[in-house]
Amino acid sequence: MSLNSDPTLAIDFGTSNSLVGAFVNGERIAALEIDPFASDKTMMRTLLYFPHADLCYYGSEALSKYISEDMEGRLFRSFKSHLPTQSYLGTIIDNRILTLENMIGTFLLELKKRAEAKLGIKVNKAVIGRPAKYSMDPVADEVALMRMKKAAAFAGFTEVEFIAEPLAAAFDYRKQIKDEKLILIGDFGGGTSDFTVIKLHPNKFSKKDVLSIDGCPLAGDALDSIFMSHKLNKNFGAGSVYRMPFSTNILKMPQSIMQRLNHPAHIVHLKEKDTYEFIKEVRKCALLDSDKDAIDKLFLMIEDQQIFSFFEKIESTKKNLSSNADFNFKFEYPGLETNETFSQKQFVDWSAGVKEKIFQSLDSCLASAQVTYDQIDLVCLTGGTAHVPFIKKEFENRFGLDRLQTQSHFHSVLSGLIESAAFWSEGLI
């Protein structure tokens, strides 16, 4: 008999997309249809749109409303990636303070409401996926988890278990296993690359089967950001030099501003008052007319709400360079016209640092498990970044093609979280 048979939601809260399943009365309930406006109704884009402080839209509807409202208001994407950033407390919409915990809690609450409506019951327990590491800094990683606990409480969950996403993917794959195997699971999302080494077998699950879990906070969004940091941000004032009044010091646009400009999760915060006023001061004191023009383009991007569209075009460029030798990035909004050609070689070269850190975390995972590459029976990769050719090729070089299995579907982590909910009810986790 189950130790705890209370209904439990399984929530794959992702940087880019989120899904919800459930474990109710001993029954595993697969992905629920939580977004009626999406092409795949079981998958809701992790988006919040506030046309004003007292109204919020979610998922696909958030994007369509944002466009229909002429991109007025605030659209938030990739906000999960702020969790380990202790200096980021939240934002202000009109005069309303919205903490990061409340922002995430608002989204989780909407997932909870929609799932409850589909199930026809109230649910106060949840198993929620988490990356292996929100941050390489242990303190920041713990801060991120504490914030997620607060967000879950804000959403109305009274009992929560957080399960590492690569472990959840392993639980999903476990259902296919007939003989004992030593498996490496790699789960690549928008914000993190996560790994687990686990012994999988058809017998009852034991915590001892999990040999190690590791990862790093770099994945799809980090690969998107390199296009800005290496080339495109120069069109928006990245290289600007300026001199403040009554000073002889020549200064460059601060790195903190550039970090926000380069990342899809952070650039929206350039609109916040203090930052915005500072950039206006830089524009006023810029030494070159070309720098003033570039900063004017940055203001136009912010004021005309073109940030989301610009990064969508960057993501499309990244995907196209996975199968093409080069690709022409073209953005045609009046005043922001941008035409740049990127090569696959540039993409590979610029991504070298990201790739190195991803595979350092893989090496660390195997070292913690005290196993070698040769001892791994099977490698199972999930998530979009696993399909990036130079990522996949590195796995082939280390493990060989015959041990590599790449899954394209987005539901493996959710399926494993539902299994985790079942294990929880039996006191196994």
pLDDT in tens, 176-191: 777 889 999 998 878 8
Nearest one of 327, 334, 299, 298 to 313, comparing CA atoms: 327
- What are 93's two structure tokens? 């919409």
Q: Report if residue 39 sits inside a domain.
A: yes
Distance CA 48, CA 372 (A): 43
Sequence-distant (6+) residues with CB within 8 A of 249 are 243
Could you tell me which residues come within 8 angstroms of residue 355 by beta carbon, excluding any fewer than 6 positions away? 390, 391, 394
72 Cβ contact partners less than 8 Å away, ≥ 6 residues apart: 51, 305
In a domain, 230, yes or no: no
Count CA atoms closer than 13 A to 405's CA, side-chain side: 14
User: Does the pLDDT of residue 121 top 90, yes or no?
Assistant: yes
378 assigned to some structural domain? no
Q: Is the pLDDT of residue 2 over 50?
A: no
pTM above 0.75, yes or no: yes
| Chain segment 49-59, per-residue pLDDT in tens | 999 988 999 99
CA dist 75 and 311 (Å) reads 13
* Terminal Cα-to-Cα distance of the chain (whole angstroms): 16
Average pLDDT estimate for 319-345: 93
Question: 131 near 192, Cβ under 8 Å?
Answer: yes
- How confident is the model over 70-112, as pLDDT tens digits? 778 888 888 898 899 888 888 888 888 899 999 999 999 999 9
Nearest one of 88, 14, 12, 28 to 424, comparing CA atoms: 28
Tokens of 32: 């629920």
Nearest-Å Rg of the Cα atoms of the chain is: 22
Report pLDDT for 1: 35
* pLDDT tens by residue, 17-38: 999 999 999 999 999 999 999 9
More confident residue, 13 or 69: 13
CATH code, 78: 3.30.420.40
* Neighbour-count burial for 289-321, b at 16+ CB within 10 Å, e otherwise: eebbebbebbbebbebbbbbbbbebbbebbebb
- The angle formed by the CA atoms of residues 51, 89 and 110, to the nearest 5 degrees, is 45
Please report where in the chains the tokens 């919205």 appear, as a residue: 98
Report whether 6 contacts 124 (CB < 8 A): yes
Q: Tell me the pairing of strands 193-200 and 210-216.
A: antiparallel
Query: Is 41 within a domain?
Result: yes
Tell whether the torsion through CA atoms of 15, 224, 137 and 131 is positive or negative.
positive
Full DSSP string of 189-241: -SS-EEEEEEEE-SS---GGGEEEEEEES-SHHHHHHHHHHHTGGGGGTTT-E
CA distances from 52 to 11, 71, 235, 415 (A): 28, 12, 30, 36
Query: What are the tokens at 59?
Result: 């998922």
- Residue 19: inside a domain, yes or no? yes
- Overall average pLDDT of the 219-227 stretch: 90
CA pair distance 52, 66, nearest whole angstrom: 11
User: Could you give the angle at the alpha carbon of 197 between the alpha carbons of 223 and 367, nearest 5°?
Assistant: 85
Number of structural domains the chain divides into: 1
Burial class of residue 337 (count of CB atoms within 10 Å of its CB; 0-12, 13-18, 19+): exposed
> Rounded CA gap, 90 and 226, in Å?
25
Concatenating the DSSP letter of every residue in 323-342 gives TSSEEEEEE-STT--EEEEE
Token pair, residue 255, equals 């790195």
**pLDDT (0 to 100) of residue 407:** 63
Closest CA to 237 of 172, 294, 161: 294
Residue 4 has a pLDDT of 52
Name 326's Cβ contacts closer than 8 Å, sequence gap at least 6: 341, 342, 343, 344
Q: Which residues of 401-425 are buried (b: 16+ CB within 10 A; e: fewer)?
A: eebbeebeebbbbbbbbbbbbbbbb
Q: Is residue 417 part of a domain?
A: yes
In a domain, 72, yes or no: yes
198-207, 228-237, 310-319, 374-383: range with lowest mean pLDDT: 198-207
Domain that holds residue 20: 8-172+409-425
Confidence of residue 410 (pLDDT cuts 50, 70, 90): low
Q: Are 415 and 129 within 8 A, CB to CB? A: no
* Closest by Cα among 133, 84, 107, 93 to 16: 107
Structural domain includes residue 24? yes
Beta bridge partners of 21: 10
How does pLDDT run across 235-273, given as a tens digit for each residue? 999 989 999 988 899 999 988 888 888 887 777 778 778
Would you say residue 300 has pLDDT above 70?
A: yes
What is the per-residue pLDDT for 409? 59
How much is the average pLDDT of 194-218? Answer: 89
